Structure 1
Protein backbone atom coordinates (compact mmCIF):
# COMPACT_ATOMS: atom_id res chain seq x y z
CA UNK A 1 0.00 0.00 0.00
CA UNK A 2 1.55 3.27 -1.13
CA UNK A 3 -0.30 5.41 1.43
CA UNK A 4 -2.03 4.85 4.73
CA UNK A 5 -5.71 4.29 4.08
CA UNK A 6 -8.57 4.09 6.55
CA UNK A 7 -10.73 1.02 6.91
CA UNK A 8 -13.91 0.52 8.92
CA UNK A 9 -14.71 -2.88 10.40
CA UNK A 10 -18.15 -3.32 11.96
CA UNK A 11 -18.88 -5.86 14.65
CA UNK A 12 -15.19 -5.65 15.46
CA UNK A 13 -15.12 -5.93 19.24
CA UNK A 14 -14.55 -9.68 19.07
CA UNK A 15 -14.48 -12.76 16.86
CA UNK A 16 -14.16 -12.40 13.12
CA UNK A 17 -14.43 -8.62 13.21
CA UNK A 18 -11.59 -8.26 15.71
CA UNK A 19 -9.37 -10.58 13.67
CA UNK A 20 -10.09 -8.62 10.49
CA UNK A 21 -9.40 -5.30 12.20
CA UNK A 22 -6.06 -6.53 13.54
CA UNK A 23 -5.07 -8.02 10.17
CA UNK A 24 -5.90 -4.86 8.23
CA UNK A 25 -3.92 -2.82 10.76
CA UNK A 26 -0.93 -5.10 10.18
CA UNK A 27 -1.44 -4.51 6.44
CA UNK A 28 -1.00 -0.78 7.03
CA UNK A 29 -4.56 0.46 7.31
CA UNK A 30 -5.73 2.88 9.96
CA UNK A 31 -8.70 1.01 11.40
CA UNK A 32 -11.98 2.17 12.88
CA UNK A 33 -13.11 -0.58 15.24
CA UNK A 34 -16.89 -0.29 15.29
CA UNK A 35 -19.35 -2.10 17.52
CA UNK A 36 -22.55 -1.40 19.42
CA UNK A 37 -20.59 -0.82 22.66
CA UNK A 38 -17.65 1.53 22.15
CA UNK A 39 -15.96 0.42 25.36
CA UNK A 40 -15.96 -3.18 24.13
CA UNK A 41 -13.84 -2.10 21.15
CA UNK A 42 -11.01 -0.74 23.28
CA UNK A 43 -9.22 -4.05 23.73
CA UNK A 44 -8.87 -4.46 19.96
CA UNK A 45 -7.77 -0.85 19.58
CA UNK A 46 -5.14 -1.34 22.29
CA UNK A 47 -3.77 -4.45 20.55
CA UNK A 48 -3.47 -2.58 17.27
CA UNK A 49 -1.72 0.37 18.91
CA UNK A 50 0.65 -1.92 20.83
CA UNK A 51 1.68 -3.38 17.48
CA UNK A 52 2.41 0.06 16.08
CA UNK A 53 -0.85 0.62 14.24
CA UNK A 54 -3.45 3.36 14.42
CA UNK A 55 -7.03 2.63 15.47
CA UNK A 56 -10.15 4.26 16.82
CA UNK A 57 -12.97 2.75 18.89
CA UNK A 58 -16.41 3.81 17.69
CA UNK A 59 -19.75 2.87 19.18
CA UNK A 60 -22.54 2.60 16.63
CA UNK A 61 -25.82 0.81 16.03
CA UNK A 62 -25.37 0.04 12.32
CA UNK A 63 -29.12 -0.27 11.83
CA UNK A 64 -29.65 3.35 12.91
CA UNK A 65 -29.31 5.81 10.04
CA UNK A 66 -28.38 8.86 12.11
CA UNK A 67 -25.88 6.88 14.19
CA UNK A 68 -24.20 5.50 11.08
CA UNK A 69 -23.86 8.88 9.42
CA UNK A 70 -22.45 10.42 12.60
CA UNK A 71 -19.99 7.54 13.10
CA UNK A 72 -18.67 7.70 9.54
CA UNK A 73 -18.26 11.47 9.74
CA UNK A 74 -16.35 11.08 13.00
CA UNK A 75 -14.09 8.42 11.49
CA UNK A 76 -13.37 10.59 8.45
CA UNK A 77 -12.50 13.50 10.74
CA UNK A 78 -10.36 11.62 13.27
CA UNK A 79 -8.73 8.88 11.18
CA UNK A 80 -9.12 9.95 7.58
CA UNK A 81 -11.54 9.39 4.72
CA UNK A 82 -12.58 5.72 4.82
CA UNK A 83 -11.85 3.81 1.64
CA UNK A 84 -12.17 0.32 3.11
CA UNK A 85 -15.33 -1.12 4.64
CA UNK A 86 -15.89 -4.56 6.10
CA UNK A 87 -19.56 -5.10 6.91
CA UNK A 88 -19.26 -7.79 9.56
CA UNK A 89 -21.78 -6.77 12.24
CA UNK A 90 -24.33 -9.49 12.82
CA UNK A 91 -26.67 -11.13 15.29
CA UNK A 92 -28.45 -14.46 15.64
CA UNK A 93 -32.10 -15.00 16.45
CA UNK A 94 -32.31 -18.67 15.51
CA UNK A 95 -35.53 -20.64 15.63
CA UNK A 96 -37.65 -22.89 13.47
CA UNK A 97 -39.98 -20.95 11.21
CA UNK A 98 -43.16 -21.67 13.14
CA UNK A 99 -41.51 -20.44 16.36
CA UNK A 100 -39.77 -17.40 14.85
CA UNK A 101 -41.23 -14.05 15.87
CA UNK A 102 -41.50 -11.03 13.62
CA UNK A 103 -39.03 -9.30 15.94
CA UNK A 104 -36.56 -12.19 15.44
CA UNK A 105 -36.86 -11.68 11.69
CA UNK A 106 -36.65 -7.88 11.78
CA UNK A 107 -33.66 -7.76 14.15
CA UNK A 108 -31.55 -10.00 11.93
CA UNK A 109 -32.56 -8.16 8.74
CA UNK A 110 -31.92 -4.77 10.31
CA UNK A 111 -28.40 -5.54 11.50
CA UNK A 112 -27.16 -7.59 8.55
CA UNK A 113 -28.91 -6.03 5.55
CA UNK A 114 -30.00 -2.54 6.61
CA UNK A 115 -26.72 -2.09 8.50
CA UNK A 116 -24.60 -3.04 5.51
CA UNK A 117 -26.66 -0.77 3.26
CA UNK A 118 -26.39 2.22 5.61
CA UNK A 119 -22.65 1.78 6.21
CA UNK A 120 -21.91 1.36 2.51
CA UNK A 121 -24.03 4.32 1.48
CA UNK A 122 -22.33 6.51 4.07
CA UNK A 123 -18.80 5.52 3.03
CA UNK A 124 -19.16 5.31 -0.74
CA UNK A 125 -18.90 9.09 -1.17
CA UNK A 126 -15.40 9.02 0.31
CA UNK A 127 -14.47 6.12 -1.94
CA UNK A 128 -15.80 7.74 -5.11
CA UNK A 129 -13.93 10.94 -4.31
CA UNK A 130 -10.73 8.95 -3.78
CA UNK A 131 -11.34 6.85 -6.92
CA UNK A 132 -10.52 3.86 -4.73
CA UNK A 133 -12.57 1.67 -2.46
CA UNK A 134 -12.85 -1.82 -1.06
CA UNK A 135 -16.15 -3.13 0.30
CA UNK A 136 -16.22 -6.59 1.86
CA UNK A 137 -19.51 -8.01 3.08
CA UNK A 138 -19.71 -10.99 5.40
CA UNK A 139 -22.13 -13.57 4.06
CA UNK A 140 -22.23 -17.20 5.21
CA UNK A 141 -22.60 -20.76 4.00
CA UNK A 142 -26.02 -20.44 5.66
CA UNK A 143 -27.00 -18.40 2.58
CA UNK A 144 -27.45 -21.80 0.94
CA UNK A 145 -30.06 -22.70 3.56
CA UNK A 146 -29.78 -23.84 7.16
CA UNK A 147 -32.36 -25.35 9.49
CA UNK A 148 -33.48 -22.93 12.19
CA UNK A 149 -32.03 -19.91 10.42
CA UNK A 150 -34.64 -18.70 7.94
CA UNK A 151 -33.92 -15.09 8.94
CA UNK A 152 -30.12 -15.41 8.98
CA UNK A 153 -30.00 -17.42 5.74
CA UNK A 154 -32.20 -14.89 3.95
CA UNK A 155 -30.09 -11.99 5.19
CA UNK A 156 -26.82 -13.64 4.19
CA UNK A 157 -28.19 -14.52 0.75
CA UNK A 158 -29.39 -10.95 0.41
CA UNK A 159 -25.88 -9.69 1.12
CA UNK A 160 -24.61 -11.65 -1.87
CA UNK A 161 -27.07 -9.87 -4.18
CA UNK A 162 -26.20 -6.56 -2.52
CA UNK A 163 -22.49 -7.23 -3.12
CA UNK A 164 -22.91 -8.00 -6.81
CA UNK A 165 -25.02 -4.88 -7.33
CA UNK A 166 -22.42 -2.70 -5.58
CA UNK A 167 -19.76 -4.15 -7.88
CA UNK A 168 -21.81 -3.17 -10.93
CA UNK A 169 -22.68 0.34 -9.72
CA UNK A 170 -19.37 1.36 -8.16
CA UNK A 171 -16.77 -0.34 -10.33
CA UNK A 172 -16.21 2.67 -12.59
CA UNK A 173 -15.08 4.64 -9.52
CA UNK A 174 -12.27 2.22 -8.70
CA UNK A 175 -14.35 0.53 -6.01
CA UNK A 176 -14.59 -3.23 -5.68
CA UNK A 177 -17.21 -5.13 -3.70
CA UNK A 178 -16.83 -8.75 -2.66
CA UNK A 179 -18.34 -11.09 -0.12
CA UNK A 180 -16.84 -13.72 2.15
CA UNK A 181 -19.04 -16.65 3.11
CA UNK A 182 -17.52 -18.39 6.13
CA UNK A 183 -18.28 -21.96 7.02
CA UNK A 184 -17.86 -23.18 10.58
CA UNK A 185 -15.74 -20.61 12.40
CA UNK A 186 -15.03 -20.84 16.13
CA UNK A 187 -16.69 -17.74 17.57
CA UNK A 188 -19.19 -16.81 20.25
CA UNK A 189 -21.88 -17.17 17.59
CA UNK A 190 -21.10 -20.82 16.86
CA UNK A 191 -20.85 -21.44 20.59
CA UNK A 192 -24.38 -20.04 20.88
CA UNK A 193 -25.54 -22.38 18.13
CA UNK A 194 -24.05 -25.35 19.98
CA UNK A 195 -25.91 -24.29 23.09
CA UNK A 196 -29.14 -23.94 21.12
CA UNK A 197 -28.93 -27.51 19.85
CA UNK A 198 -27.87 -28.81 23.26
CA UNK A 199 -24.29 -29.86 22.47
CA UNK A 200 -20.99 -29.31 24.28
CA UNK A 201 -19.04 -26.81 22.16
CA UNK A 202 -15.92 -28.97 21.91
CA UNK A 203 -18.00 -31.91 20.73
CA UNK A 204 -19.87 -29.61 18.37
CA UNK A 205 -16.56 -28.56 16.78
CA UNK A 206 -15.34 -32.14 16.49
CA UNK A 207 -18.57 -33.19 14.79
CA UNK A 208 -18.35 -30.26 12.38
CA UNK A 209 -14.73 -31.06 11.50
CA UNK A 210 -15.68 -34.55 10.33
CA UNK A 211 -17.82 -32.95 7.61
CA UNK A 212 -15.14 -30.53 6.40
CA UNK A 213 -12.67 -31.68 3.71
CA UNK A 214 -9.65 -30.05 5.39
CA UNK A 215 -10.64 -31.89 8.60
CA UNK A 216 -10.70 -28.90 10.91
CA UNK A 217 -12.99 -26.05 11.83
CA UNK A 218 -12.17 -22.50 10.86
CA UNK A 219 -10.71 -19.69 12.94
CA UNK A 220 -11.32 -15.94 12.70
CA UNK A 221 -7.83 -15.51 11.20
CA UNK A 222 -8.94 -17.62 8.22
CA UNK A 223 -11.55 -15.01 7.39
CA UNK A 224 -9.16 -12.15 8.10
CA UNK A 225 -6.77 -13.55 5.47
CA UNK A 226 -9.52 -13.46 2.84
CA UNK A 227 -10.53 -9.92 3.80
CA UNK A 228 -6.89 -8.86 3.58
CA UNK A 229 -6.72 -10.10 -0.01
CA UNK A 230 -9.90 -8.34 -1.10
CA UNK A 231 -8.67 -5.05 0.41
CA UNK A 232 -5.31 -5.09 -1.35
CA UNK A 233 -4.38 -2.44 -3.91
CA UNK A 234 -3.61 -5.13 -6.47
CA UNK A 235 -6.96 -6.89 -6.05
CA UNK A 236 -8.68 -4.25 -8.13
CA UNK A 237 -9.76 -6.66 -10.89
CA UNK A 238 -11.61 -8.92 -8.46
CA UNK A 239 -15.14 -7.68 -7.82
CA UNK A 240 -18.63 -9.02 -7.36
CA UNK A 241 -17.34 -12.33 -6.05
CA UNK A 242 -18.53 -14.55 -3.21
CA UNK A 243 -15.66 -16.48 -1.66
CA UNK A 244 -16.67 -19.46 0.44
CA UNK A 245 -14.07 -19.87 3.18
CA UNK A 246 -15.33 -23.15 4.50
CA UNK A 247 -12.55 -25.73 4.26
CA UNK A 248 -13.95 -27.21 1.08
CA UNK A 249 -16.33 -26.63 -1.83
CA UNK A 250 -19.90 -25.44 -1.37
CA UNK A 251 -22.73 -25.72 -3.87
Structure 2
Protein backbone atom coordinates (compact mmCIF):
# COMPACT_ATOMS: atom_id res chain seq x y z
CA UNK A 1 0.00 0.00 0.00
CA UNK A 2 1.43 3.35 -1.07
CA UNK A 3 1.28 6.30 1.33
CA UNK A 4 1.76 9.84 0.05
CA UNK A 5 3.94 11.98 2.31
CA UNK A 6 3.06 15.66 1.98
CA UNK A 7 5.25 16.97 4.84
CA UNK A 8 8.95 17.01 5.51
CA UNK A 9 10.19 13.94 7.43
CA UNK A 10 11.88 15.00 10.68
CA UNK A 11 12.18 11.55 12.28
CA UNK A 12 10.87 8.02 12.32
CA UNK A 13 10.36 4.98 14.56
CA UNK A 14 9.63 1.29 13.88
CA UNK A 15 6.34 -0.09 15.23
CA UNK A 16 6.84 -3.57 16.64
CA UNK A 17 4.10 -6.21 16.97
CA UNK A 18 4.12 -5.95 20.78
CA UNK A 19 3.47 -2.18 20.53
CA UNK A 20 0.39 -2.84 18.44
CA UNK A 21 -0.88 -5.31 21.04
CA UNK A 22 -0.45 -2.75 23.83
CA UNK A 23 -2.31 -0.09 21.85
CA UNK A 24 -5.20 -2.46 21.26
CA UNK A 25 -5.48 -3.45 24.94
CA UNK A 26 -5.07 0.03 26.44
CA UNK A 27 -8.35 2.04 26.70
CA UNK A 28 -8.51 5.39 25.03
CA UNK A 29 -7.62 8.21 27.45
CA UNK A 30 -10.45 10.44 28.57
CA UNK A 31 -10.40 13.90 26.98
CA UNK A 32 -8.84 16.52 29.22
CA UNK A 33 -10.97 19.57 29.75
CA UNK A 34 -9.24 22.77 28.70
CA UNK A 35 -8.60 25.40 31.33
CA UNK A 36 -10.88 28.40 31.01
CA UNK A 37 -9.35 31.36 29.29
CA UNK A 38 -8.42 34.48 31.21
CA UNK A 39 -11.40 36.33 29.82
CA UNK A 40 -13.75 33.59 31.07
CA UNK A 41 -12.36 33.84 34.63
CA UNK A 42 -13.29 37.49 34.73
CA UNK A 43 -12.56 40.49 32.57
CA UNK A 44 -10.57 42.74 34.93
CA UNK A 45 -10.50 46.30 33.59
CA UNK A 46 -7.31 48.29 34.14
CA UNK A 47 -6.97 52.03 33.65
CA UNK A 48 -6.09 53.01 30.06
CA UNK A 49 -6.72 55.93 27.74
CA UNK A 50 -9.47 54.15 25.76
CA UNK A 51 -11.87 54.17 28.74
CA UNK A 52 -14.66 56.65 28.08
CA UNK A 53 -15.57 59.20 30.72
CA UNK A 54 -18.77 58.26 32.58
CA UNK A 55 -21.49 60.87 33.00
CA UNK A 56 -20.92 60.95 36.78
CA UNK A 57 -17.59 60.78 38.62
CA UNK A 58 -16.71 60.81 42.31
CA UNK A 59 -14.78 63.96 43.23
CA UNK A 60 -13.03 65.70 46.12
CA UNK A 61 -12.19 69.41 46.34
CA UNK A 62 -9.25 70.76 48.34
CA UNK A 63 -8.62 74.40 49.32
CA UNK A 64 -5.12 75.88 49.09
CA UNK A 65 -4.55 79.23 50.79
CA UNK A 66 -1.05 80.46 50.02
CA UNK A 67 0.56 83.76 51.07
CA UNK A 68 1.92 83.94 47.51
CA UNK A 69 -1.61 84.32 46.11
CA UNK A 70 -4.26 86.86 47.02
CA UNK A 71 -7.09 84.38 46.45
CA UNK A 72 -7.33 80.71 47.41
CA UNK A 73 -6.95 77.86 44.94
CA UNK A 74 -9.56 75.10 44.82
CA UNK A 75 -8.24 71.78 43.51
CA UNK A 76 -10.85 69.23 42.41
CA UNK A 77 -9.81 65.66 41.60
CA UNK A 78 -12.42 63.35 40.07
CA UNK A 79 -12.05 59.56 40.27
CA UNK A 80 -13.38 56.72 38.15
CA UNK A 81 -14.37 53.39 39.75
CA UNK A 82 -13.17 50.35 37.79
CA UNK A 83 -14.76 46.88 38.16
CA UNK A 84 -17.47 48.17 40.55
CA UNK A 85 -19.14 45.61 42.79
CA UNK A 86 -16.36 43.02 42.38
CA UNK A 87 -13.34 42.01 44.44
CA UNK A 88 -11.21 43.86 41.87
CA UNK A 89 -12.94 47.21 42.41
CA UNK A 90 -10.42 50.01 42.03
CA UNK A 91 -10.68 53.78 42.35
CA UNK A 92 -8.33 55.72 40.10
CA UNK A 93 -7.93 59.48 39.47
CA UNK A 94 -9.38 60.50 36.12
CA UNK A 95 -9.14 64.30 35.89
CA UNK A 96 -8.09 67.37 37.88
CA UNK A 97 -9.33 70.98 37.85
CA UNK A 98 -7.92 74.07 39.59
CA UNK A 99 -10.17 77.09 40.09
CA UNK A 100 -9.39 80.52 41.55
CA UNK A 101 -10.38 84.18 41.32
CA UNK A 102 -6.72 84.94 40.68
CA UNK A 103 -6.23 85.05 36.90
CA UNK A 104 -2.53 86.01 36.93
CA UNK A 105 -1.42 82.41 36.52
CA UNK A 106 -4.34 81.18 34.38
CA UNK A 107 -2.13 79.82 31.59
CA UNK A 108 0.08 77.53 33.66
CA UNK A 109 -2.88 76.43 35.79
CA UNK A 110 -4.74 75.26 32.67
CA UNK A 111 -1.57 73.64 31.31
CA UNK A 112 -0.80 71.70 34.48
CA UNK A 113 -4.37 70.42 34.85
CA UNK A 114 -4.54 69.22 31.24
CA UNK A 115 -1.19 67.44 31.44
CA UNK A 116 -2.01 65.80 34.77
CA UNK A 117 -5.46 64.70 33.56
CA UNK A 118 -3.85 63.13 30.48
CA UNK A 119 -1.38 61.25 32.71
CA UNK A 120 -4.24 60.05 34.94
CA UNK A 121 -6.18 58.69 31.95
CA UNK A 122 -3.08 57.06 30.47
CA UNK A 123 -3.03 54.54 33.33
CA UNK A 124 -0.11 52.85 34.99
CA UNK A 125 1.71 54.26 38.00
CA UNK A 126 0.73 57.94 38.38
CA UNK A 127 2.23 58.42 41.84
CA UNK A 128 5.44 59.83 40.32
CA UNK A 129 3.55 63.11 39.76
CA UNK A 130 3.67 63.77 43.51
CA UNK A 131 7.47 63.82 43.74
CA UNK A 132 7.82 65.80 40.51
CA UNK A 133 5.44 68.54 41.70
CA UNK A 134 6.81 68.68 45.26
CA UNK A 135 10.32 69.21 43.87
CA UNK A 136 9.35 72.55 42.21
CA UNK A 137 10.84 75.58 44.02
CA UNK A 138 9.70 79.18 43.79
CA UNK A 139 12.62 81.62 43.22
CA UNK A 140 10.86 84.11 45.53
CA UNK A 141 10.99 81.59 48.37
CA UNK A 142 8.54 79.16 49.93
CA UNK A 143 6.22 79.38 52.91
CA UNK A 144 4.90 77.37 55.85
CA UNK A 145 1.34 76.14 55.60
CA UNK A 146 -0.92 75.23 58.54
CA UNK A 147 0.76 72.55 60.63
CA UNK A 148 4.24 74.03 60.18
CA UNK A 149 4.94 72.07 56.98
CA UNK A 150 7.24 73.90 54.57
CA UNK A 151 6.10 74.32 50.99
CA UNK A 152 8.79 75.45 48.51
CA UNK A 153 6.17 76.67 46.01
CA UNK A 154 2.47 76.72 45.20
CA UNK A 155 3.10 73.91 42.68
CA UNK A 156 4.64 71.85 45.49
CA UNK A 157 1.47 72.34 47.56
CA UNK A 158 -0.62 71.15 44.61
CA UNK A 159 1.61 68.06 44.65
CA UNK A 160 0.93 67.67 48.38
CA UNK A 161 -2.81 67.84 47.68
CA UNK A 162 -2.49 65.14 44.99
CA UNK A 163 -0.49 63.04 47.46
CA UNK A 164 -3.22 63.36 50.12
CA UNK A 165 -5.84 62.34 47.56
CA UNK A 166 -3.89 59.31 46.35
CA UNK A 167 -3.44 58.25 49.97
CA UNK A 168 -7.18 58.57 50.52
CA UNK A 169 -8.04 56.27 47.59
CA UNK A 170 -5.29 53.78 48.48
CA UNK A 171 -2.75 54.33 45.69
CA UNK A 172 -0.11 55.61 48.14
CA UNK A 173 0.46 54.05 51.54
CA UNK A 174 2.43 55.85 54.23
CA UNK A 175 4.87 53.76 56.26
CA UNK A 176 3.30 53.83 59.69
CA UNK A 177 5.37 54.32 62.82
CA UNK A 178 5.58 51.24 64.99
CA UNK A 179 4.56 51.31 68.66
CA UNK A 180 8.16 51.76 69.82
CA UNK A 181 8.65 54.86 67.62
CA UNK A 182 5.32 56.36 68.72
CA UNK A 183 6.21 55.81 72.38
CA UNK A 184 9.66 57.37 71.83
CA UNK A 185 8.19 60.51 70.21
CA UNK A 186 5.60 60.87 72.98
CA UNK A 187 8.34 60.50 75.60
CA UNK A 188 10.47 63.19 73.95
CA UNK A 189 7.49 65.55 73.79
CA UNK A 190 6.77 65.09 77.50
CA UNK A 191 10.43 65.59 78.36
CA UNK A 192 10.65 68.80 76.35
CA UNK A 193 7.41 70.17 77.81
CA UNK A 194 8.65 69.42 81.33
CA UNK A 195 11.97 71.11 80.58
CA UNK A 196 10.24 74.17 79.10
CA UNK A 197 7.89 74.43 82.07
CA UNK A 198 10.82 74.22 84.49
CA UNK A 199 12.70 76.96 82.65
CA UNK A 200 9.57 79.13 82.60
CA UNK A 201 9.06 78.74 86.35
CA UNK A 202 12.69 79.64 87.08
CA UNK A 203 12.89 82.67 84.79
CA UNK A 204 9.45 83.92 83.77
CA UNK A 205 9.61 86.35 80.89
CA UNK A 206 7.25 87.57 78.15
CA UNK A 207 6.94 84.92 75.47
CA UNK A 208 8.89 82.32 77.47
CA UNK A 209 6.10 79.74 77.62
CA UNK A 210 7.07 77.98 74.42
CA UNK A 211 5.14 74.80 75.14
CA UNK A 212 1.83 76.58 74.45
CA UNK A 213 2.36 77.20 70.75
CA UNK A 214 0.04 75.41 68.34
CA UNK A 215 1.08 75.01 64.72
CA UNK A 216 -2.15 73.48 63.43
CA UNK A 217 -3.63 70.12 62.36
CA UNK A 218 -3.72 68.88 65.95
CA UNK A 219 0.05 69.13 66.50
CA UNK A 220 1.56 71.29 69.24
CA UNK A 221 5.14 72.44 68.77
CA UNK A 222 7.16 75.30 70.31
CA UNK A 223 7.31 78.55 68.26
CA UNK A 224 11.12 78.43 68.34
CA UNK A 225 11.16 74.99 66.65
CA UNK A 226 13.01 74.77 63.34
CA UNK A 227 12.16 72.80 60.22
CA UNK A 228 12.84 69.07 60.06
CA UNK A 229 14.56 68.05 56.83
CA UNK A 230 12.89 64.63 56.97
CA UNK A 231 9.20 65.54 57.40
CA UNK A 232 9.41 69.29 56.44
CA UNK A 233 7.65 70.29 59.69
CA UNK A 234 8.68 73.03 62.12
CA UNK A 235 9.10 70.64 65.04
CA UNK A 236 12.86 70.37 65.64
CA UNK A 237 14.01 71.41 69.13
CA UNK A 238 17.29 71.09 71.02
CA UNK A 239 17.15 68.37 73.67
CA UNK A 240 20.25 67.39 75.66
CA UNK A 241 22.37 69.23 73.13
CA UNK A 242 20.89 67.35 70.17
CA UNK A 243 18.41 68.49 67.49
CA UNK A 244 15.29 66.29 67.76
CA UNK A 245 12.04 66.38 65.75
CA UNK A 246 8.92 66.16 67.92
CA UNK A 247 6.81 65.20 64.88
CA UNK A 248 8.61 62.25 63.28
CA UNK A 249 11.25 61.48 65.93
CA UNK A 250 14.24 62.17 63.68
CA UNK A 251 17.42 63.04 65.56
CA UNK A 252 20.89 63.93 64.32
CA UNK A 253 22.32 61.99 67.27
CA UNK A 254 20.60 58.78 66.18
> Higher relative CO (CA 8 A, sep ≥ 6), structure 1 or 2?
1
Higher helix share: 1
TM-score with structure 2 length normalisation? 0.22
Larger Rg: 2
